[in-house]
Structure 1
């Protein structure tokens, strides 16, 4: 996986960095979790403070275009982000039937 950050803007009002990136890969499309881990490691940030907003792939291309937000602290992330975006990428809890 190879990242290219095409836009990096600091949003002081919401205490976050807003990124637009292009990811090229070989093989199957990487999972949201693996993209989140790799991007956090590349930027040297805590992956719990990084939220992936949208990921778009195009047919026939080994490329993903996405948007991410990196918050300064957990409180800012929880007060700003929508719940469904926070739940995406988390491992699913198996219920006992």
Structure 2
């Protein structure tokens, strides 16, 4: 997995960094969790402060276009982000059988 950051802007009003990236990969499309972990590690940030918004794979290419936002703190993240995007980043609860 190779990341290329195509845009990196600081949004002082919302206390976050806004990134756009191109991800090249081999094999199957990586999971949201693995993308989130790798991007957080590359940016030296806590993965809980990172939110992935848009992911699009290009047909016929091993390439993914995405956007991410890295917040300064958890409180700002929860007050700003839409609820469904926060749920996408959480691990799924195992159902009891």
TM-score of the pair, normalised by structure 2: 0.97
In the aligned structure 2, how far is the partner of 1:35 from the partner of 1:69? 13
Tell me how many residue pairs correspond in the alignment: 97
Instruction: Check conservation: 2:54, 2:67, Cα contact below 8 A.
Output: yes
Aligned to 2:31: 31
Aligned to 2:3: 3
Aligned to 2:21: 21
Deviations 1:1-56 (A, max 9, x none): 00000000000000000000000000100000000000000000000000000000
Instruction: Check conservation: 2:40, 2:50, Cα contact below 8 A.
Output: yes
Aligned to 2:86: 86
TM-score of the pair, normalised by structure 1: 0.97
Deviations 1:36-88 (A, max 9, x none): 00000000000000000000001110000000000000110000001110111
SS at match of 1:38: helix
The Cα of 1:89 is off from its aligned counterpart by: 3.0
For the aligned residue pairs, the C-alpha RMSD in angstroms reads 0.8
Instruction: Check conservation: 2:51, 2:89, Cα contact below 8 A.
Output: no
